[in-house]
Amino acid sequence: MSVLTVNDLCIYPIKALPGIHVQAAVLDGSGLRHKKFQRVRDRAFMVVDAGTGKFISLRTHARGLSKISLALDEASGTLELSAPGVDVLRIDVAGVAGDRTRMESSVWEWRGHATVVDREWFSRVVGCELCLVEASSDMHRPVDPEYAPQPSTTGFSDGFPFLFAFRESLIDLFEETYGDAAAGMMHRFRPNLTVAGGAPWQEDGIRELRLLRETGEYTGATFDLCKPCSRCTVPAVDPATGDVDGRVTELLRSRRSGGVLGWTEGPRGFKNATFFGVNACLVDGEGGGTVVVKVGDVLEN
């Protein structure tokens, strides 16, 4: 019987920007969190239209956002954003966020107040009036109760606190078209936890995963894989260049649409959507945010 293991962990502090790959992370109920810096949480920040507060993403601003690189300087406790032609933007994440102006912001169906971090840097890079905002400490954005165990919350993610992707499925989907480069396509799907060791598309039949150490010891954390992740056009965009590769969308349509998979009944939107990866929530193990997941941990279903 194959053993599933955590192959990679990635925190995306700022929605739509590159992630930070780590060897271990804290399992916060609303997503992965850095072990040392509590403000470095998955999708804790996002870029919004300065006028409307609506989030922007690679769907609409691929060329501008692809210019930006992101790194965490652990020595200084800063997130460092760089782009051609502008000074580096440094965000202090070592301490507690200070009092800042709040603005109404939105991500999909959710509207609420977020704190303003920057009003100028992203405007200069992307070429339109933008703000960088951070989720307020009192933000409790609920996850869709049609799919998720309750109570479940998330930050500025598209809808769920965790996204799992399975390496063997990625290779099965892309190897014929991209050859040895297939494994390098994972960053287009932006998962938090990449799983290795199973059979292709094994995830379609998994509803729950228990997190174990390599020794077999149960960590106390269990994930509910509550909804297949529907995909828009973003995976076709190379996040490093902004270039669009239509073959990605066509492969998803031909092999991973709801119609092809027989997911034509039940939850809304499944028939015509395409799918890769699985959205998940914690159903056990929040424990005040003390459970740590590590690369190499075992996932038991």
Per-residue pLDDT at 231: 95
- DSSP per residue, 241-276: T--B-HHHHHHHHHHSBHHHHT--SSSTTTTT-EEE
The partner residues of 41 in beta bridges, in order of sequence, read 33
Per-residue pLDDT at 99: 66
Domain that holds residue 82: 4-300
| Number of domains the chain is built from | 1
Nearest CA among 119, 93, 301 for reference residue 198:
301
Q: Which residues contact 98 (CB under 8 A, 6 or more apart)?
A: none
Rounded to whole angstroms, the Cα distance separating 282 from 87 reads: 39
Average pLDDT of the residues of the chain: 93
pLDDT digits (tens, 9 = 90+) for 113-168: 999 999 999 999 999 999 999 998 778 899 999 899 888 999 999 999 999 999 99
Residue 80 burial (CB < 10 Å; 0-12/13-18/19+)? middle
Q: State the angle between helix axes of 246-255 and 167-178 in degrees (0 to 180), rounded to the nearest 10.
A: 120
pLDDT digits (tens, 9 = 90+) for 45-103: 999 999 999 999 999 999 999 999 999 999 999 999 999 999 999 999 998 776 679 99
Per-residue pLDDT at 1: 59
Residue 237 burial (CB < 10 Å; 0-12/13-18/19+)? buried
Per-residue pLDDT at 73: 98
pLDDT digits (tens, 9 = 90+) for 16-32: 999 999 999 999 989 99
Nearest CA among 139, 131, 130 for reference residue 112:
139
Residue 269: band (very low, low, confident or very high) from pLDDT cuts 50, 70, 90: low
Rounded to whole angstroms, the Cα distance separating 270 from 281 reads: 20
Amino acid at 251: L
